[in-house]
């Protein structure tokens, strides 16, 4: 049995930096893009917003590439955790991880099948998010540098993917990912607090028992000199 103050490393620094720069730049890109696309501001303001959109797009792109190149091991482990599915992952859908019950809806069994680092819902969401980050980077720069080389159909396909894909993903992040991350407040603190990405052992064991059992190594506490 773990002592009360025992903690586990949920997010190493590289993942926190990548995620948090990604989240902040994402919202700047979404707001500047939406205001300009739907003509919610005067033309001259829209032009300035588009300049900001491009420069923040550079930071967004460099952040993703830097994460993959500087911490390829963490990127690999993240993808592995997201792509590995077993019968317990599928069993998560029988009660949607018990989340409906938190809102008073008695859906499925009370007990949730044990999950790994991410539950099945997170796996789907994060795979979609990573796909969208990659897709928006590619379509964004192709539309910026190569729009005259694209045929009309390809241009429209990329443009609508860029606009509507980003809007739909922003809605998912804002109304699903963000509130659920606040419900799992220990995850939230591990991701967003300045400094370490640790979380209490109990929280990890409750949400991610298979991760704790399979992937974590217990380190003896350092003795005080
Ligand atoms: C301010 C907005 C956001 C908040 C508060 C937030 C919060 C969080 C938290 C707390 C986690 C950890 C959940 C866990 O334990 O697995 C997480 C993971 C993740 N989030 Fe966000 N997030 C935000 C925006 C975004 C955006 C815009 C994206 C991309 C579209 C995104 C993609 C991801 C991904 C891929 C992970 C898994 C990362 C990893 O495990 O290293 N998030 N987020």
Q: Which token pair is 11? A: 């997010």
Share the mean pLDDT of the chain.
94
pTM here? 0.93
pLDDT one-digit tens code per residue, 99-146: 999 889 999 999 999 999 999 999 999 999 999 999 999 999 999 999
| Rounded distance between C-alpha atoms, residue 199 and residue 9, angstroms | 6
- Residue pair 43/49 in contact (Cβ under 8 Å)? The answer is no
Give Cα separations from 36 to 49, 99, 167, 199 (angstroms).
7, 37, 13, 40
When divided into structural domains, the chain yields a total of: 1
187 close to ligand 1 (CB < 6 Angstrom): yes
| Rounded distance between C-alpha atoms, residue 139 and residue 142, angstroms | 5
Average pLDDT for residues 159-186, to the nearest whole number? 97
User: Does residue 56 fall inside a structural domain?
Assistant: yes
From ligand 1's centre to the CA of 219, what distance in Å? Answer: 27
130 close to ligand 1 (CB < 6 Angstrom): yes
User: Does residue 13 fall inside a structural domain?
Assistant: yes
User: Does residue 93 fall inside a structural domain?
Assistant: yes
User: Does residue 109 fall inside a structural domain?
Assistant: no
Q: What's the first-to-final CA gap in the chain, in angstroms?
A: 26
Domain range holding 87?
Answer: 7-97+116-215
11 close to ligand 1 (CB < 6 Angstrom): yes
Give Cα separations from 40 to 28, 37, 49, 103, 195 (angstroms).
16, 8, 11, 36, 39
User: Does residue 31 fall inside a structural domain?
Assistant: yes
208 close to ligand 1 (CB < 6 Angstrom): no
pLDDT one-digit tens code per residue, 192-218: 999 889 999 999 999 999 999 999 988
User: Does residue 222 fall inside a structural domain?
Assistant: no
CATH value at residue 161: 1.20.950.20
Average pLDDT for residues 62-68, to the nearest whole number? 98
User: Does residue 106 fall inside a structural domain?
Assistant: no
Average pLDDT for residues 56-73, to the nearest whole number? 98
Q: Looking up tokens 């991610």, which residue turns up? A: 208
Ligand 1, atom 37, residue with closest C-alpha? 126
189 close to ligand 1 (CB < 6 Angstrom): no
User: Does residue 19 fall inside a structural domain?
Assistant: yes
Q: Looking up tokens 């948090």, which residue turns up? A: 20
Q: Which residues partner with 8 through β-bridges?
A: 199
pLDDT one-digit tens code per residue, 1-41: 455 578 999 999 999 999 999 999 999 999 999 999 999 99
Atom of ligand 1 nearest to the CA of 118: 16
């Amino acid at each position: 049995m773990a002592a009360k103050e025992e903690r586990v490393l949920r997010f190493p620094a590289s993942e926190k930096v990548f995620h948090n720069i990604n989240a902040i730049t994402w919202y700047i890109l979404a707001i500047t893009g939406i205001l300009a696309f739907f003509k919610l501001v005067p033309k001259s303001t829209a032009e300035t917003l588009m300049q900001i959109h491009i420069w923040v797009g550079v930071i967004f792109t460099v952040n993703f590439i830097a994460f993959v190149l500087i911490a390829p091991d963490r990127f690999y482990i993240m993808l592995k955790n997201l792509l590995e599915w077993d019968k317990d992952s599928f069993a998560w859908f029988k009660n949607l991880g018990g989340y409906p019950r938190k809102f008073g809806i008695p859906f499925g069994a009370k007990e949730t099948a044990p999950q790994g680092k991410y539950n099945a819902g997170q796996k789907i969401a994060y795979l979609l998010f990573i796909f969208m980050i990659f897709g928006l980077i590619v379509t964004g720069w192709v539309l910026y540098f190569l729009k005259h080389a694209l045929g009309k159909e390809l241009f429209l396909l990329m443009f609508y993917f860029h606009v509507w894909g980003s809007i739909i993903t922003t809605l998912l992040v804002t109304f699903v990912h963000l509130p659920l991350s606040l419900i799992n407040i220990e995850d939230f603190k591990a991701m967003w607090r300045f400094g370490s990405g640790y979380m209490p052992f109990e929280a990890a064991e409750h949400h991610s028992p298979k991760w704790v059992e399979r992937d974590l190594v217990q380190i003896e506490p350092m003795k005080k000199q």
